[in-house]
Structure 1
Amino acid sequence: MRPLAAAELLDIWERGRHTPPWQQALFLLAAASPEHTTEALARLSIGRRDDLLLELREWTFGSQLVSVVECPACGDRLEFTIDGGEFRSEPDEAPESIDFHTEGYRGTFRLPNTEDLAAVSGIQEMEAARRALLAACVLELSPALEADAPENGLTVKAQELPPEVQEAIDRQMQEADPQADIQIDLACPACGHRWVAPLDVVSFFWQEIDDWVRRMLQEVHTLASHYGWSENEILAMSAWRRRVYLEMVQA
Structure 2
Amino acid sequence: MDGERALPRNREFEFELPVGYEDAEGQVHRTAVLRKMTGRDEAIMADKRHRSNGARMISELLGNCLVRLGTIENPGLRVAQQLYSADRHYLLMKLREITFGAEMQATYSCPTCQEATVLVEDLAELEVVRLGGDEVLEDLVVRLEDGYVDRSGTVFDVLVFRYPTGVDEERIAAASRDNASRGKNALMARCLKSMGDMPRPRLEALGSAVFSDMTLSDRRLIDQAMLSRGLGVSMQRSVNCGGCGRDYDAAIDMSNFLAAS
Fold similarity call, TM over 0.5: yes
- How far apart, CA to CA, are the structure 1 residues paired with 2:243 and 2:80? 43
Q: Pick the aligned partner of 2:58 from 6, 25, 28.
A: 25
The Cα offsets for residues 135-190 of structure 1, whole Å up to 9 and x where unpaired, read as: 11110111xxxxxxx3999x866743632333322321222245476112111223
1:100 partner amino acid:
V
Alignment pair present for 1:118 and 2:150: no
Alignment pair present for 1:67 and 2:106: yes
Alignment pair present for 1:87 and 2:126: yes
Structure 2 equivalent of residue 186 of structure 1: 239
Distance 1:46 1:180, change over 3 A: farther
Displacement of 1:57 in angstroms is 1.1
Alignment pair present for 1:15 and 2:54: no
Q: Pick the aligned partner of 1:109 from 141, 161, 164.
A: 161
- How far apart, CA to CA, are the structure 2 residues paired with 1:101 and 1:117? 25
Q: More displaced, 116-125 or 158-167?
A: 158-167
Displacement of 1:46 in angstroms is 2.1
Structure 1 equivalent of residue 141 of structure 2: 99
- How far apart, CA to CA, are the structure 1 residues paired with 2:250 and 2:198? 44
Structure 1 unaligned segments of length 5 or more: list them.
Answer: 143-149, 213-251
Provide the aligned C-alpha RMSD in A. Answer: 3.2
Alignment pair present for 1:127 and 2:181: yes
Q: Pick the aligned partner of 1:198 from 251, 255, 258.
A: 251
Where does structure 1 differ by over 6 angstroms across 4 or more consecutive aligned residues? none
Structure 2 equivalent of residue 141 of structure 1: 195
- Give the strand-richer structure, 1 or 2: 2
TM-score relative to the length of structure 2? 0.63
Distance 1:94 1:84, change over 3 A: farther
- Give the helix-richer structure, 1 or 2: 1
- How far apart, CA to CA, are the structure 2 residues paired with 1:162 and 1:180? 29
Q: Give the number of the structure whose alpha-carbon radius of gyration is greater.
A: 1
Verify the 8 A CA contact 2:130 2:232 in the aligned structure 1: no
- How far apart, CA to CA, are the structure 2 residues paired with 1:117 and 1:151? 26
Distance 1:200 1:43, change over 3 A: farther
Distance 1:204 1:88, change over 3 A: farther
Structure 2 equivalent of residue 248 of structure 1: none
- Amino-acid identity (%): 22
Alignment pair present for 1:36 and 2:36: no
2:59 partner amino acid:
L
Q: Pick the aligned partner of 2:86 from 10, 34, 47.
A: 47
The Cα offsets for residues 205-250 of structure 1, whole Å up to 9 and x where unpaired, read as: 23x26xx8xxxxxxxxxxxxxxxxxxxxxxxxxxxxxxxxxxxxxx
